[in-house]
Amino acid sequence: MWNRPRFDLKVRLTLRVAAISAACFAAISAYFLITADRAAHARLDDIAAIVAKTLELQQGKIQWVANPRSDFPNLDPVSAYVMTPGLCLAFRGTSGEFLQRFCSGAPIPTSPPPQAFVAFYGSLFDPGREAARPVIVRGAKLGETVVSVDPAVQTADAWHEAGRLMIALAIALPLLCALVYAALSRALRPTRMIRSGLERIAANDLTTRLPPFDLAELSAIRDVFNHLAESLDNALAERSELTRKLIALQDEERRYLARELHDEFGQSLAAIRALAASARQTAAQECPSLLGECDGIARTATGMMETLRGTLFRLRPPDVEELGLVASLEGLVAGWNGRSRGATRFTIRFDGAFATLPATISASLYRIVQEALTNAAKHAGATKVSLELTMVASEIALAIDDDGRSHDPAAKSGMGLLGMRERVAALRGQLSFEAAPNGGSALRVVIPLAAADRPPLERAA
């Protein structure tokens, strides 16, 4: 039921108007046909009454004249005035026989009506029906006058009238549809603006506002749309501000943790290494069998120091504001290439000028790349990771592709990806993390450089 074909609203309304108009034209045509049929029968009744009156006068004259001529009934005097094509006048006696009958010829129609119309008209109106009036003289019925019209003539006249209406319909209906479509197009023109506004809202442009409209219904939609856009803009601004504060607090906690690890844990490891060196000197002189244990303690302390340096580097990265985003990311990639020892190959490419990039965006991009590289190398087990950072006039695009396991749950739902989403949301950007077409994963991040104020949609003329 959801795959039904969709029609344009203007087309649908125009078709409905056309159907209603056609129904109205059909009703009007039926009314005219009924009226014409009643008028024709009324005319026949009038002619029958005139003929009957004329014959009564003729009979009265015969009775009053001394030497009457037996020419009754005589339809000649009246036929000259009432005869029309297809009309028949007759006098039927009391025995039922026609004593006199006159019929005018019916012309051959230039465009005979279709048989379907002939059958339809004949079933509804009974063309050729007779109109009869009695001829009464001094209370005695001498007979009756009978008037009728050839059914073919009456049907042809009806078809002629209906044809005129059909011609009018054929001309008026397309013109009416065109005018209705044009009027609807003009009235519904603001819907294109509403659609454009919704598309901009879907693209996270919450500064979009709609102008006033002439129609009250569309103005109500405009008020709700603008209120919704403003509410979403405020909610997103509050969320971004809260996320920014949370990220700032998180970075501060990282710096504090880095200081504590460096000052406490680092000094303890340095002391362990010093004690191991001192113990080795003592063991070399007094107990050579302990030299292996002393060397093992020194190696363990050295390994822990290396791990601590890596942890401190992740917790407290180089000063991106001082070194710049490009140098910081190049150093990050070089560090991963060094630590992976060929197991994973990291490459990076830049396109654009990043020297004037705001510090907040630079720091967030560095953290996003740092988390993405960690996910690709540790969770996805990638062997190739490529980064591309592009900056155009209004946005920054980050693309990170790897050949690792694209459906790793830790990579998709872990805290690292959640942290990246929070940073991107704080900058009002967009992030997507999906499986690459050729295997692996593809991370895409788009961050606007500035929330440029866009004017409301221009009102259509």
pLDDT digits (tens, 9 = 90+) for 169-190: 888 888 888 888 888 888 778 8
Place of tokens 């949301």: 425
Residue 54 has a CB neighbour count (10 Å cut-off) of 20
Give 384's strand partners.
345
Domain boundaries, the chain: 9-186, 318-461
Q: Do domains 9-186 and 318-461 have the same CATH topology?
A: no
User: How confident is the model over 121-158, as pLDDT tens digits?
Assistant: 778 787 878 888 888 887 778 888 888 888 888 888 88
Structure tokens at 275: 């004690």
CA distances from 304 to 165, 279, 314 (A): 100, 19, 15
Give the pLDDT confidence score for residue 453 in this predicted structure. Answer: 37
Helix ranges (H only) for 287-378 are: 291-315, 320-323, 325-340, 359-374
Average pLDDT of the chain, as a whole number: 78
User: How confident is the model over 409-426, as pLDDT tens digits?
Assistant: 444 555 577 778 888 888
Give the pLDDT confidence score for residue 370 in this predicted structure. Answer: 84
Structure tokens at 321: 């504001």
Which one-letter amino acid corresponds to residue 157? D
What gap in Å lies between CA 161 and CA 154, rounded to an integer? 11
Given a contact cutoff of 8 angstroms between Cβ atoms, the answer to whether 397 and 444 are in contact is yes
User: How confident is the model over 367-420, as pLDDT tens digits?
Assistant: 888 888 888 877 777 788 899 999 887 889 999 888 877 555 444 555 577 778
Given a contact cutoff of 8 angstroms between Cβ atoms, the answer to whether 372 and 341 are in contact is no
Given a contact cutoff of 8 angstroms between Cβ atoms, the answer to whether 182 and 24 are in contact is no
Q: Burial level of 19, CB count in 10 A (0-12/13-18/19+)?
A: exposed
Half-sphere exposure in the Cβ direction for 339 (13 Å, CA): 16
Strands across the sheet containing 345-351: 345-351, 384-391, 395-402, 441-448, 430-435
Fold of 318-461: Heat Shock Protein 90 (3.30.565)
Half-sphere exposure in the Cβ direction for 271 (13 Å, CA): 7
Residue 391: name the closest of 442, 449, 310, 342 by CA.
449
pTM score, two decimals? Answer: 0.48
Question: Which three-class secondary structure state does DSSP give residue 181?
Answer: helix
What gap in Å lies between CA 312 and CA 306, rounded to an integer? 10
User: How confident is the model over 255-286, as pLDDT tens digits?
Assistant: 778 777 777 777 887 888 888 888 878 877 77
Question: Which three-class secondary structure state does DSSP give residue 114?
Answer: coil
Give 146's strand partners.
90, 132
User: Residues of 308-317 as b/e, b for ≥16 C-beta within 10 angstroms?
Assistant: beeebeebbb
What gap in Å lies between CA 377 and CA 444, rounded to an integer? 17
What gap in Å lies between CA 242 and CA 248, rounded to an integer? 10
CATH classification (class only), 9-186 = alpha beta
- Among 20-24, 26-30, 65-69, the minimum mean pLDDT is found in 65-69
Give the pLDDT confidence score for residue 418 in this predicted structure. Answer: 78
CA distances from 394 to 244, 249, 443, 447, 449 (A): 21, 28, 20, 9, 5
For β-strands 395-402 and 430-435, DSSP reports them as unpaired
Residue 217 has a CB neighbour count (10 Å cut-off) of 8
Give the pLDDT confidence score for residue 458 in this predicted structure. Answer: 41
For β-strands 345-351 and 395-402, DSSP reports them as unpaired
**What does the pLDDT average to over 185-200?**
83
Strands across the sheet containing 87-93: 98-103, 87-93, 140-149, 131-137
Task: Say whether pLDDT at 325 is over 80.
Answer: yes
Give 207's strand partners.
none
What gap in Å lies between CA 423 and CA 367, rounded to an integer? 9
**What does the pLDDT average to over 77-95?**
79
Ramachandran category for residue 226: left, alpha or beta (phi over 0 → left; psi -120 to 50 → alpha):
alpha
| Distance in Å from the first CA to the final CA of the chain | 38
Structure tokens at 258: 């880095």
Given a contact cutoff of 8 angstroms between Cβ atoms, the answer to whether 431 and 444 are in contact is yes
